[in-house]
Structure formats: structure tokens, C-alpha cells
Amino acid sequence: MPKRVLTGTVVSDKADKTVVVRVERRVKHPLYGKIIRLSKKYHAHDEANAYKSGEQVRIEECSPISKLKTWTVIDRIGVAKAQAVEIADPEALQPDAEPKKPAEEKAEKPAKAKTTKKAKAEDVAEADA
């Protein structure tokens, strides 16, 4: 019997010589008829720790390697969509001036005019005079 081969995305590469691959499949809902995506995670053996999160890989069925691992990674299909970016000069991102304190911001805001009936009446009287 031939070995099964599945295609999926590496979800986790934190364990040593192991990657977790999420394989999605599309099925029609039995009652509503809508196409839905179902996914399942497989632990696969990665001898060289060569595969990183986000990469598209093919996995092949094999004899059990451990309690959870019964798959091995064959090859890489696509690279990860997002790569980690290192910043050469982290100080360049920070502004030179210190941020304002909340008390200073409150002092800078203009005082709001009261809009009571008495204040409006006084304003009208001043405008008439």
C-alpha cells in the first residue's frame, strides 16, 4: 500500500527535530451544502530543523517515530509569508524629545466655555451694548 502524502503549513517549529503541520481540507457540509474548511494538525519529523513557521511543506506517512510522530517532512513547497526583520539601529526609531506627561497636556488644553443659560444671557447683553 502506498504511503500517503499531504500538503500543509508549518504552525510550530519549537520542538527539536519536530514540526507541527496544519493540513486543511475543503468539504461540503452534509446538511447546508456550504463548502467549509476543516483542518488537522500533524507532528512531523524534521531531522535537520530546516523548516520554519509559515512555510508550505509536504509530509509523508512513516512508521511511528514517537507517540505523536508518524509523519516525516519530504520537502518545502513555499517559503514563509512573513520573515523576521532585525533593526540595525533601534535608537533611530525613538524620538529625541521626551513624551509629554498627562499633566502638561491638560494644562495646554484651552478651558471650555460654559454654556449655561446665564452665560448665554450675559454674552447677548454684551453684544447689544
Question: In sequence order, what DSSP letters do the residues of 81-108 get, joined into one string?
Answer: SS-----S-GGGGS-SSPPPPHHHHHHH
- pTM recorded for the entire structure: 0.61
Domain regions of the chain by residue span: 5-78, 100-128
State which amino acid sits at residue 104. Answer: E
Q: pLDDT, tens digit, for every residue of 78-98?
A: 887 766 667 777 676 666 656
pLDDT of 80 reads 76
Q: Report DSSP state, residue 109.
A: S
Which regions of the chain are under pLDDT 50? none
Residue 68's CB is within 10 A of a number of other CB atoms, namely: 14
Give me the pLDDT at residue 124, please. Answer: 74
CATH number attached to the domain at 5-78: 2.40.50.140
Contact (CB, 8 A) for 73 and 45: yes
Sign of CA dihedral 7, 8, 9, 15: negative
